[in-house]
């Protein structure tokens, strides 16, 4: 049984595939080497609607479903995982969180700019001592009249230097624990916001990752998202959807490496025939095809649950856990199939292998995903069947 895709969903998939090959592929090796953010391509993505795919048309978005979004993200990730994570953060974490939990004034001020790519957003949760343990926020926001004074450091922030607006998670009352955490919309040009040096990373090198320091930044009360104490719940609900985006990114990386491996195995000859006809290579490709398709079923299933208004926490964690492991495993195999050519940049698979690793780490490590799944099992939450109508 296969997912039944609408004509619109297939058109979105084809448009993303075409954009990735036409706009992202030509200079991707150079951008990776220079750690260069694809600013021109991001502008085009905004014009094409890829940066606010699920946002309501009332706010300049595409009004699309989650499945269309992950299909587009998969196609972008086959070519350029760096651009894909910029797209994922803007769609899944920033736009989605703002549209679902922001008030009308906040949406009016920021959402259309984000959905159309005029602005890029950043989601600022991780800290030097608060990564997987999101309850241990050291960044503080102290209430002073109609303002908060925001102070602290956020680490590993995607879109750190290209973003115009930050969603910042901060502790406002330590005595209340996770109920004393709030989320704030903070413009990047506010006095006291300092962007740290760009991180020199193993992979996704043309996505800019920075520390961001907040030095007594005055943030108006009107920039708080939700009621007092809603910040931790906001972060967890937003990250649950973000995991589906990263799962789609991991799926795309794996699928891109597989497609390159198949093409190379058909062209490269050894012992008088293409290497795809040697059982050792054919079996590798068979395993890759099987596990990548299994990952796709999990990712699409999580997206469809979200679209159906069902609980998708467990499904999203399963999708991210499995797809990220598949990405890591099979990008390594793609390099192996390419032999020595896989070890040089010209053939792209070495970059995909480097890009794959981060999918097991960010937006909840694989260990955290196992914890989420295990807790769901302990609570008696059984996973819905993979195929839903």
Hey, where are the domains in the chain? 7-120, 122-231, 238-378
Q: If residue 114 lies in a helix (H) or strand (E), which one and from where to where?
A: helix 112-115
The one catalytic residue in 23, 75, 333, 363 is 363
Can you tell me the mean pLDDT for 195-203?
Answer: 98
Alpha-carbon distances of 121 from 38, 157, 163, 194, 267, rounded to whole Å: 15, 10, 5, 16, 43
CB of 236 closer than 8 Å to CB of 188: no
Under CATH, to which class is 122-231 assigned? mainly beta
Predicted pLDDT at 135: 85
DSSP 129: T
Query: What pLDDT does residue 388 have?
Result: 40
The span from the CA of 358 to the CA of 202, in Å, is 9
The second-level CATH assignment, the architecture, of 238-378 is Up-down Bundle (1.20)
Per the CB < 8 A criterion, the answer to whether 196 and 73 are in contact is no
- Known catalytic residue at 363: yes
Query: In this predicted model, what pLDDT tens digit does every residue of 282-326 receive, in sequence order?
Result: 999 999 999 999 999 999 999 999 999 999 999 999 999 999 999
- Residues 325-384 have pLDDT tens digits of 999 999 999 999 999 999 999 999 999 999 999 999 999 999 999 999 999 999 886 655
Q: What is the CATH number of domain 7-120?
A: 1.10.540.10
Residue 13 in contact with residue 72, Cβ under 8 Å? yes
- pLDDT, one tens digit per residue, over 96-121 is 999 999 999 999 999 999 999 999 99
């Amino acid at each position: 049984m296969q997912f039944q895709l609408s004509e619109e969903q297939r058109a979105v998939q084809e448009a993303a595939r075409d954009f990735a090959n036409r706009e992202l592929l030509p200079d991707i090796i150079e951008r990776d080497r220079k750690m260069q953010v694809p600013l021109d391509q991001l502008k085009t993505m905004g014009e094409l609607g890829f940066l606010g795919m699920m946002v309501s048309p009332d706010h300049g978005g595409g009004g699309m479903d989650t499945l269309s979004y992950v299909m587009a993200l998969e196609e972008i990730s086959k070519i350029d995982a760096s651009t894909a994570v910029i797209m994922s953060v803007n769609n899944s974490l920033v736009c989605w969180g703002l549209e679902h939990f922001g008030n009308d004034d906040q949406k009016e001020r920021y959402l259309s700019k984000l959905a159309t790519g005029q602005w890029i957003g950043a989601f600022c949760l991780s800290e030097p001592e608060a990564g997987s343990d999101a309850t241990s926020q050291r960044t503080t926001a102290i209430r002073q009249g109609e303002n908060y004074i925001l102070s602290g450091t956020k680490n590993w922030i995607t879109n750190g230097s290209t973003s115009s607006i930050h969603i910042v998670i901060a502790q406002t009352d330590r005595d209340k624990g996770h109920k004393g955490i709030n989320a704030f919309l903070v413009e990047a040009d506010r006095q006291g916001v300092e962007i740290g040096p760009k991180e020199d990373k193993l992979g996704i090198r043309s996505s800019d990752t920075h520390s961001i320091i907040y030095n007594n930044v005055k943030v108006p009360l009107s920039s708080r998202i939700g009621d007092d104490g809603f910040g931790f719940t906001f972060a967890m609900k937003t990250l649950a959807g973000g995991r589906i985006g990263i799962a789609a990114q991991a799926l795309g990386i794996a699928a891109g490496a597989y497609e390159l491996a198949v093409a190379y195995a058909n062209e490269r000859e050894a012992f008088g025939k293409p290497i795809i006809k040697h059982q050792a290579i054919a079996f590798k490709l068979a395993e890759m095809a099987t596990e990548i398709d299994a990952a796709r079923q999990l990712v699409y299933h999580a997206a469809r649950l979200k679209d159906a208004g069902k609980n998708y926490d467990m499904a999203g964690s399963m999708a991210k856990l499995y797809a990220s492991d598949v990405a890591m495993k099979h990008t390594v195999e793609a390099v192996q199939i390419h032999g020595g050519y896989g070890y040089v940049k010209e053939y792209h698979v070495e970059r995909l292998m480097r890009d794959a690793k981060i999918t097991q780490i960010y937006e909840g490590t694989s260990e955290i995903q196992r914890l989420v799944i295990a807790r769901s099992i302990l609570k008696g939450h059984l996973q819905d069947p993979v195929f839903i109508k």
